[in-house]
């Protein structure tokens, strides 16, 4: 066996180890929940500390196009959960206690328009602002 042939399997071994190591780091980063340097709904780690939001987060975290956005609206913090699999954008706004804001009825359509016009984005808590409405 020539020197070149001996080196080839060794390089493959080293490269595969490096790739596996990188993928485990990526998985660890994906699993990491970021805590905030300010309080969100009264807690510093809302994706872990608010049970209802943790459930929402776990449901969308594996989806490539998803996000959790914090807004200020009508003097309240409103959390919006976004996913590319959701069929509408007016059914995923929640108050800090997990109460869903009802914007998806004929009678509340104007309230949803008001929300869109008057809300202020505070921070993306997870993922991306998918809807950008």
Q: Are residues 28 and 62 in the same domain?
A: no
Q: How many domains does the chain have?
A: 2
The string of pLDDT tens digits covering residues 33-55 is 678 788 999 999 999 999 999 99
Of the candidates 77, 68, 125, the residue with the CA atom closest to the CA atom of residue 101? 77
Distance CA 72, CA 95 (A): 10
| Mean residue pLDDT across the chain | 82
Q: Are residues 70 and 113 in the same domain?
A: yes
Q: Is residue 40 part of a domain?
A: no
Where residue 81 falls among pLDDT bands split at 50, 70, 90?
very high
Mean pLDDT of all residues in 68-97: 94
């Amino acid at each position: 066996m020539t020197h070149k042939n001996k080196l080839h399997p060794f390089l493959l071994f080293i490269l595969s180890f490096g790739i596996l190591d990188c993928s485990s780091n990526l998985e660890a980063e994906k699993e990491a929940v970021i805590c905030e340097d300010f309080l969100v709904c009264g807690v510093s780690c809302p994706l872990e500390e608010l049970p209802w939001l943790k459930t929402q987060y776990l449901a969308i975290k594996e989806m490539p196009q998803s996000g959790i956005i914090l807004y200020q609206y009508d003097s309240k913090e409103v959390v919006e959960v976004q996913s590319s699999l959701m069929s509408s954008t007016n059914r995923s706004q929640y108050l800090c206690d997990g109460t869903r804001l009802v914007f998806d009825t004929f009678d509340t359509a104007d309230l949803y328009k008001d929300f869109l016009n008057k809300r202020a984005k505070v921070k993306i808590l997870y993922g991306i602002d998918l809807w950008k409405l």
